[in-house]
Structure 1
């Protein structure tokens, strides 16, 4: 039925507008498409070197495994950060994120982050560590942080070493 209202003509239907069935312009997903992984993005993940705070023999400090996405795209796949600790240092949870895992010997910790790290953003895994009480004062070398992702197009910046300074106990 058409109703004249001034210069406007409106068509009224018996069904409310939300009940009108319109074809969906998107094709229905096939079962195989539902489980297919996302196309890897064009991302460049970079490990940024951050040395842990100094600590005394028998003391603790935290390794900050810092990864930045240089882009140009948001990551579409999960990525893994691996922290290798120098001799004389042992990982001591809890870790952040909580799904980080010690791979069994206290010297390698692996953390997995989900997709979605935007260009210009960063992710950090925190790995608390205990220094052996037998360590000499000085600098421990041999620690490293690395990142792996199927999205990463530049592997040259995926690993950085770090040092831990072993210092005297602060007077209290």
Structure 2
């Protein structure tokens, strides 16, 4: 039989304390050793609950004119043309062309108001129209890579719209 190993060669065991270490206890240990006091978070203000008889204070109503009406007031009461450019937010190519048309129209025609996406735009849409009237360009339900829109010569489009507006 082989001789058995003696326990004298083994390392003596150190008595372990059973202290549980948690995240909060480590935070407390680090905050007590630092010299700077840690600011406690400020509790959020709670909303006051209203009793059934109480009513919330009404918010003051602002009387802002819509953009088209503001343009009429700015021109001294003369009615000005309002052009609406509706472009899809799916791709930046729509926005690039819309901004180019807006800048071109505002520089060429004085007293014109150009609105870009006054309402939520349709998907795959690039449309330039007079507010409540004639449509200059209407490209609807375009699929990628938006060929009909990319085929447009934007300088020619802007000059056509300027001729029709004047």
Q: Please, what TM-score do these two structures have when normalized by structure 1?
A: 0.24
Q: Please, what TM-score do these two structures have when normalized by structure 2?
A: 0.25
Q: Indicate the structure with greater strand content.
A: 1
Q: Indicate the structure with greater helix content.
A: 2
Bigger relative contact order, structure 1 or 2 (CA pairs below 8 A, ≥6 apart): 1
User: Between Structure 1 and Structure 2, whose CA radius of gyration is higher?
Assistant: 2
